Chain A
Amino acid sequence: MESTLGLLALSPPGWGGTLLVGLWASIQIAVGAFGLGLLIGLGGAYGKIYGGPVLRDCLGVYTTVVRALPELILILLLYFGLTDMVNQLMLALGYGRIQISGVLAGIIVLGVVQGAYATEILRGAILAVPPGQIEAARAMGMPAGKIARRITIPTMLGLALPGLSNLWLIATKDTALLAIVGFNELTLATRQAAGTTKAFFTFFIAAGVIYLAISLLSTWGFARVEAWARRGDPPRVSGAR
């Protein structure tokens, strides 16, 4: 027990500090990727519903391909592809090669993956907004942006939040995949600590507890936000479907 606590201590003989640095990187990437995914998803959902046929088909290809391929392969393809493309662009423009920071690459790569799922979730939620509400807003002469901000998004938020909550949990867990491209987030930091000290169970279970705490906390948080977003909904009558 003493030695376990010693291993997890924050200062250098213990590895707790290393784990926390990894945790911070994981959280940064998860938040960034989720945010980017939401932006892509909102644009994608509006594009799929109101866009022209070409835009709709292109978005269809994007969401289908991303959801059909393993995240790991997408991450590798995007990770290598993105760095290559940026570097070729930089060379063509006469600059030297640059190294894209791990956090930025992770956010972009996971954000593109999350965007595909968010598109589908938000599209379903927007379609569930009663069309009469949007027609009424249009009849009042509201511009499209204002309709989105005042009518569509507040109404669909309650419907979209359960799906978005799942998506956020996937985002936190998918950050672990970046360990495979050598990015030092929580899972890789854990493996380094475990490999060096040979205390495999201690560190992997510690990391598991951290991930679990994040997931339980965010489930609770999302439930609160959903209750807030649904505050204007009519009370649901039990038994009626």
Chain B
Amino acid sequence: MMRALMQPHRIVMLAVAIGLVLWIILGGNWSWLPKYAPMIGQGIWRTVWLLVLSILIGFALAVPLGLAQASGPRYLALPARAFCTVIRGTPLLLQIWLLYYGLGSLFPGIPWIRESDLWPILRQAWPYALLALSLSYAGYEGEVMRGAFASVPRGQIEAARAMGMPRRKIFSRVSLPLALQSVLPTLGGEAVLQLKATPLVATITVIEIYAVASRVRQDTLITYEPLFLVAAIYLVLAGLIVLAFRRMEGRQPRRTA
């Protein structure tokens, strides 16, 4: 590691990189930072929980979507395939706007929704953001899980059946663990992609970390410094996701034969 870094051109590149960072930090105008610091903290928090919840909900939807496509009857496989195709074939921004503006304009006209206890929540933007992000993740992951379920070796399932396991148990003890194991590295990459998709919800007034940067730009006309800060935050978050998934992969039993 050290030897690889000590080549002369790498030292120069490292020096240039450090110089660039120092130039941005020292030469930039950071006077806005103290005033917006609480907002930045809130923005990071909002990005993180949107990311985590959308991945959890999306994945919970992706498992049945993948299973239906891989081994379900036609009347389940076709709608699941159609859902994945539509989600993967249209821009996420369009989906977010369809849900927010479309449902958001539909709901006020329906009396029982307006009178329900959920209305104060449905009047805000984040439920639509969370729904759109979850559905999008489910669409992409449904396709991934289809491949994963299809690649579970037949012999494993036949063996479980021969042991007299009921179908549910075969799913929870054999198919799902094997599918998850084969798909974990892909899921890590997809989680980073999902992180990179979250700033889109800023367009429907959810104030996550990217929206804070645009707010600073609008208030103070400082363009680059907030964007650099947010870029650094995204780099750190992406790094954390990669590390977390590497740990999860490390905890899996390695095949020995």
Q: Which residues of A are at the interface with B, using a C-beta cutoff of 8 A?
A: 53-54, 57-58, 61, 68-73, 76-77, 80-81, 169, 173-177, 179-180, 187, 190-191, 194-195, 198, 200-201, 204-205, 207-208, 211-212, 215-216
Looking at the complex, which one of A57, A174, A194 makes contact with B9 (CB distance below 8 Å)? Answer: A57
Partner of B102, one of A70, A76, A200, A211: A200
Query: What is the minimal beta-carbon distance from B111 to any residue of chain A, in angstroms?
Result: 19
Residues of B within 8 A of A (CB): 7, 9-10, 13, 85-86, 88-95, 97-98, 101-102, 105-106, 192, 195-200, 203, 210, 223-224, 227, 230-231, 234-235, 238
Complex: A72 Cα to B96 Cα, angstroms: 15
A79 and B50 CA atoms in complex are apart in Å by 27
Q: Closest CB of chain B to A196's CB: distance in Å?
A: 12
Does A70 contact B92, Cβ atoms closer than 8 Å? no
B231: contacting residue among A77, A176, A190, CB under 8 A:
A77
> A208 touching B231 by the CB < 8 A rule?
no
Chain B residues, CB < 8 A from A201: 98, 102, 106
Chain B contacts of A195 at CB under 8 A? 101
Given contacts A53-B7, A200-B105, A212-B86, contact A205 B231 (CB under 8 A): no
Interface of A is mostly: helix
Do B101 and A194 touch (CB < 8 A)? yes
Quick one: which of A72, A191, A198 contacts B200, CB cutoff 8 A? Answer: A72
**Complex interface: chain B residues within 8 A of A215 (CB):** 88-90
Q: Do residues A212 and B90 form an inter-chain contact, with CB atoms below 8 A?
A: yes
Known: A73-B227, A73-B234. A204 touches B98 (CB 8 A): yes
Q: A76-B227, A180-B203 are in contact. List 8 more A-B contacts (CB 8 A).
A: A61-B13, A72-B210, A73-B199, A77-B224, A174-B91, A176-B94, A211-B89, A212-B85
Taking a contact as CB atoms under 8 Å apart, the answer to whether B85 and A73 are in contact is no
Closest partner residue, chain B, to A209 (CB atom): B90
Contacts of A176 in B (CB 8 A): 91-94
Residues of A within 8 A of B101 (CB): 191, 194-195, 200, 204
Contact A216 B89 (CB under 8 A): yes
CB distance from A183 to the nearest CB of B (A): 13
In whole angstroms, how far apart are the Cα atoms of A174 and B90 in the complex? 10
Q: Do A204 and B102 have beta carbons less than 8 Å apart?
A: yes
Instruction: Give chain A residues whose Cβ lies under 8 Å from the Cβ of B90.
Output: 173, 207-208, 211-212, 215
Given contacts A204-B94, A208-B94, contact A71 B196 (CB under 8 A): yes
Q: Are A173 and B196 in contact (CB under 8 A)?
A: no
Q: How far is the CB of B102 from chain A (nearest CB, A)?
A: 4
8 Å CB contact of B230 from A61, A73, A173, A204: A73
Cβ of A180: which chain B residues have Cβ within 8 Å of it? 93, 203
Least CB distance from B33 to A in Å reads 18
Q: Closest approach, in angstroms, between the C-beta of B238 and any C-beta of chain A?
A: 5
Q: Do residues A68 and B234 form an inter-chain contact, with CB atoms below 8 A?
A: yes
Structural contact, A212 and B93, CB atoms closer than 8 A = no
Contacts of A169 in B (CB 8 A): 88-89
| 16 A/B residue pairs, CB under 8 Å, sorted by A | A57-B10, A68-B235, A69-B234, A70-B197, A70-B199, A73-B231, A76-B227, A173-B92, A175-B91, A180-B93, A187-B91, A195-B101, A200-B105, A204-B101, A208-B90, A212-B89
| A77 to B223 Cα, complex, angstroms | 9
**Which among B106, B210, B223 is the interface contact of A70 at CB below 8 angstroms?**
B210
B196 nearest in chain A by CB position: A70
B residues near A72, Cβ cutoff 8 Å: 199-200, 210
A204 touches B97 (CB 8 A): yes
Chain B residues near A200 (CB-CB < 8 A): 98, 101-102, 105
Contact B199 A187 (CB under 8 A): no
